[in-house]
Homo-oligomer: A and B are copies of this chain.
Amino acid sequence: MKWYEKKQGAHPDVIISSRIRLARNLKDYVFPNHLSEEEAREAIEVIHRIFSKEKPDEFYYWDMAQMSSIDKVAMMERHLLSPLFVNMPIPNALIHNVDESLSIMVNEEDHLRIQAMSKGANLGEIFTLASQVDDMIEDKVDYAYSQELGYLTACPTNVGTGLRASYMIHVPALEATGQLRIILEAIGKFGITFRGIYGESSEPVGSVFQVSNQVTLGFSEEEIIEKLHSVTMQIVNQEIAVRDSLLRERRLEFEDSIYRSYGILSQARILTAKEAMTLLSDVKLGLELGLLKLETSGEFNIFDLMTQIQPANLQKYEKKTLDVTQRDMARANLVRMTLPKIQGG
């Protein structure tokens, strides 16, 4: 058993998903913000050729210039690519595997952003997956690398391992009781950052947050992942403790607010993304605490629904562009159709 495997699967309810991102650059090209259009195309071609040759059947290749705006944003909502990548002024391309657990952005802030994702707490496993892709590329190209500093990147915060490890966590109890604020201040000291579900500038919704390491220099990959994991586990344990005390001390109000949220989700005709996220967060919490039981086939995953109701994914589902009101209606419809009934209700 490897060092990281010991830590898998802890509190899958609170830790929604894990993400590993490696920032890499090609030695023979300047960083993307200084690339000419032609050089940008060349850099893409270098990478594309490797995947065509080494993994011809496992990966999809997308020229971003050929992709519709809705498709781009939908992929962003699924965390397959970044907000920056959607609006890059130079040619850029996305390579990803079938289940979207592995993706490579070419010409984002760095030439390469290799990303691996998984549900639950699986940082170790997906770090291995990302590293395999990383090794495969490094076999064929020279990375910008310094013996002293490690991997070189466009932004100094990524220099070193080029690694960002993230957990997506659902901490409604800490948020509701205001304790999250105190935690946010404390974890900054450990070089850990907290962000909303859709990246650096996004407002937190549905009590879902990304926890990730801020600095990649001066630590090994193992140290970065271990530190992120141990800090996250402290947050998780606090979330569990607050949930327990809410259950003990305010069970009735707790139950009431969860059932009300279910009631609104199951009947509303208009739902903004933000309100839907908040209500789904309540239902998720209710399910995890056993306060609410749904007639699920096992297929139903609230976090998947949280992704499906985002604006672009919703429009892809409806197969047409929708204005804000139409989206709010379509979202309410989708939620009504998808949310299972209450057991015995």
User: Closest CB-CB distance, A330 to chain B, in whole Å?
Assistant: 12
Instruction: Indicate whether A267 reaches chain B with its CB closer than 8 angstroms.
Output: yes
User: Closest CB-CB distance, A152 to chain B, in whole Å?
Assistant: 54
Task: Name the one of B256, B264, B268 contacting A270, with C-beta atoms under 8 angstroms.
Answer: B256
Question: In whole angstroms, what is the CA distance A262 to B265 when docked?
Answer: 11
Residues of B contacting A87 with CB < 8 Å?
A: none
- CB <8 Å contact, A264 and B269: no
Interface residues of A in 234-270 (CB under 8 A from B): 252-253, 255-256, 259-260, 262-270
Instruction: Indicate whether A329 reaches chain B with its CB closer than 8 angstroms.
Output: yes
Residues of B contacting A256 with CB < 8 Å?
A: 268-270, 332
- CB <8 Å contact, A259 and B252: no
Residue of A255, A263, A325 ringed by the most chain B CB atoms within 10 A: A263
Task: Name the one of B259, B266, B325, B329 contacting A269, with C-beta atoms under 8 angstroms.
Answer: B259
Q: How many residues of A contact B (CB 8 A)?
A: 18
- CB <8 Å contact, B252 and A325: yes
Closest chain B residue, CB of each to CB of A332: B256
Question: In whole angstroms, what is the CA distance A329 to B259 when docked?
Answer: 13
User: Closest CB-CB distance, A268 to chain B, in whole Å?
Assistant: 5
Task: Name the one of B255, B267, B329, B332 contacting A262, with C-beta atoms under 8 angstroms.
Answer: B267
Question: In whole angstroms, what is the CA distance A268 to B260 when docked?
Answer: 5
Residues of B contacting A263 with CB < 8 Å?
A: 260, 263-268
Question: In whole angstroms, what is the CA distance A153 to B266 when docked?
Answer: 56
- CB <8 Å contact, B255 and A259: no
Closest chain B residue, CB of each to CB of A325: B252
**Interface digits, A262-286 against B, CB 8 Å rule (1 contact, 0 not)?**
1111111110000000000000000
Question: In whole angstroms, what is the CA distance A224 to B255 when docked?
Answer: 52
Question: In whole angstroms, what is the CA distance A171 to B203 when docked?
Answer: 40
Residues of B contacting A332 with CB < 8 Å?
A: 256
Question: In whole angstroms, what is the CA distance A274 to B256 when docked?
Answer: 16
- CB <8 Å contact, A260 and B267: yes
Question: In whole angstroms, what is the CA distance A265 to B268 when docked?
Answer: 13
User: Closest CB-CB distance, A88 to chain B, in whole Å?
Assistant: 38
Closest chain B residue, CB of each to CB of A266: B263
User: Closest CB-CB distance, A68 to chain B, in whole Å?
Assistant: 28
The 3 closest A-B pairs by CB, nearest first: A263-B267, A263-B263, A256-B269
7 A-B contacts, Cβ less than 8 Å apart? A252-B270, A256-B268, A256-B269, A259-B269, A260-B263, A263-B264, A263-B265
- Apart from A256-B332, A264-B264, what are 8 other A-B pairs with CB-CB below 8 Å? A252-B269, A252-B325, A253-B270, A256-B268, A256-B270, A260-B267, A262-B267, A263-B265
